[in-house]
């Protein structure tokens, strides 16, 4: 009989421990479920924010840039002075660069985790420098400043990089 009482006492202790363990596991599971629910809500909010950003970039920036480029292409066909033509050409190039940046911001794929794909190709550095000079020169003309440029012949012309992002 004593053995039965000892076994019963041990079973009662084991059941008591199992109840306490079950309660602890239930609390941990509820906490984990709460964290998962919060993470799910955060993902939905992030997705909505990204959609809003892309929509704003598309309607607020990309479409106006297309209109600006269209108007600039009309101006390019007009008879203008050399200085005006240089300014218009520079505006077209800079607008195209800005449009590429806007497109990159809108079209970032989820799988790339926000990284921009780089397309390594050879391009002419001197041409890029001349285009940049043209932009700066336009700004200087507007502000009545003088600006000059001298590219050394020792500077390599053909370089590797992503010309779209240079």
| pLDDT tens track for 86-142 | 888 888 888 888 888 888 777 765 545 656 667 788 888 888 888 788 778 777 887
pLDDT in tens, 15-68: 888 888 999 999 999 999 999 999 999 999 988 888 888 888 888 888 888 889
Interval 64-81 mean pLDDT: 89
Question: 5-16: string of b/e by CB count within 10 Å (b at 16+)?
Answer: eeeeeeeeeeee
Three-state secondary structure call for residue 122: strand
Given a cut of 90, whether residue 153 has pLDDT beyond it is no
Say if residues 98 and 135 touch (Cβ distance below 8 Å): no
Q: Which residues contact 130 (CB under 8 A, 6 or more apart)?
A: 149, 151
Q: What are the domain boundaries of the chain?
A: 2-105, 118-166
The phi and psi torsions of 121 (rounded to 5 degrees) equal: -145, 160
CB-based contacts of 104: which residues, under 8 Å, 6+ apart?
116
Architecture per CATH, domain 2-105, reads as Orthogonal Bundle (1.10)
Of the candidates 75, 120, 69, 118, which has an alpha carbon nearest to the alpha carbon of residue 98? 69
């Amino acid at each position: 009989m004593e053995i039965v009482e000892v076994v019963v006492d041990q079973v009662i202790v084991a059941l008591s421990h199992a109840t306490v363990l079950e309660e602890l596991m239930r609390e941990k599971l509820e906490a984990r479920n709460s964290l998962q629910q919060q993470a799910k809500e955060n993902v939905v909010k992030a997705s909505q924010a990204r959609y809003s950003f892309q929509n704003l970039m598309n309607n607020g920036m990309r479409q106006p840039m297309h209109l600006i480029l269209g108007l600039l292409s009309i101006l390019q066909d007009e008879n203008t002075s050399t200085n005006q033509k240089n300014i218009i050409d520079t505006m077209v190039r800079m607008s195209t660069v800005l449009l590429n940046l806007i497109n990159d911001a809108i079209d970032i794929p989820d799988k790339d985790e926000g990284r921009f794909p780089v397309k390594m190709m050879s391009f002419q550095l001197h041409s890029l420098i001349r285009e940049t000079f043209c932009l700066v020169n336009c700004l200087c003309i507007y502000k009545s400043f003088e600006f000059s440029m001298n590219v050394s012949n020792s500077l390599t012309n053909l370089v590797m990089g992503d010309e779209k992002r240079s």
